[in-house]
């Protein structure tokens, strides 16, 4: 099972158009194009009835004390946690590709709609739902893909992993509004194989 992309070379820096946040020439940080990347898959295991796609960042600070605070950096040795950027289930195995920008174009305040999505698939909540929960202008349910927007003062370059799972059932056993951890739990019972594609991103000018 293989997962590839024409959007960037596996493991390289993610181009800004696929991120939710970008650096401006004047040093400020703002929203970016937030396009989902192109992804293609081959060599699916026999018996694959559907696909699940998860994108997560495993470098997210476990505490927000220093996050986006001018004049200091988030320490590199701070424990890190997962942040889910895309949770997509029930994707048909064919055609073997998601086009660039097919599922996401631009960042939507209060979140894109869901869970129903293109091709009969369903999308779960990404973790911007929790990130913006206390913001009166941005709070909402964030379904589908919303790309990288790491803290501008993080001392670590963040890693983003797209994992495609071959699933033995046409409909994954999650219902209603669901999250990344719930999908991972459901996948434990019906995964035939998986493949990954990754990239890095930072908004820290010292590291960029």
What are 186's two structure tokens? Answer: 């459901």
Interval 42-101: pLDDT, tens? 999 999 999 999 999 999 999 988 899 998 999 999 999 999 999 999 999 999 999 999
Q: What pLDDT sits at residue 176?
A: 98
Q: What pLDDT sits at residue 147?
A: 98
Interval 92-111: pLDDT, tens? 999 999 999 999 999 999 99
- Domain boundaries defined on the chain: 2-201
Rg (CA), the chain: 17
Q: What pLDDT sits at residue 208?
A: 82
Q: Which CATH architecture has domain 2-201?
A: Alpha-Beta Complex (3.90)
- What pTM does this model have? 0.96
| 124 neighbors 166 (Cβ within 8 angstroms) | no
Closest to 145 in 3D by CA, of 119, 92, 106: 106
At a CB cut-off of 8 Å and minimum separation 6, what does 176 contact? 115
């Amino acid at each position: 099972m293989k997962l590839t992309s024409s959007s960037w070379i596996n493991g390289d820096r993610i181009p800004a158009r696929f991120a939710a946040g970008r650096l401006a020439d004047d040093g400020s940080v703002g929203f970016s194009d937030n396009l989902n990347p192109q992804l293609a898959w081959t060599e699916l295991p026999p018996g694959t009835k559907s696909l699940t796609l998860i994108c997560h960042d495993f470098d997210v600070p476990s505490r927000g004390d220093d996050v986006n605070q001018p004049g200091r950096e988030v320490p590199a040795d701070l424990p890190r946690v997962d942040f889910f950027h895309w949770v997509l289930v029930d994707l048909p195995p064919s055609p073997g590709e998601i086009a660039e920008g097919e599922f996401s174009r631009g960042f939507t305040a209060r979140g894109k709609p869901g869970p129903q999505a293109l091709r009969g698939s369903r999308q779960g909540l990404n973790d911007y739902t929790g990130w913006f929960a206390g913001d009166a202008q941005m709070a909402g349910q964030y379904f589908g893909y919303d790309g990288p927007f790491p803290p501008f003062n993080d001392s670590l370059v963040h890693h983003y992993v797209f994992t495609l799972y071959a699933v033995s059932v046409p409909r994954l056993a999650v219902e209603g509004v669901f999250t990344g951890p719930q999908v991972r739990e459901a996948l434990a019972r019906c995964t035939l194989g998986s493949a990954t594609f990754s990239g890095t991103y930072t908004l820290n000018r010292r590291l960029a």
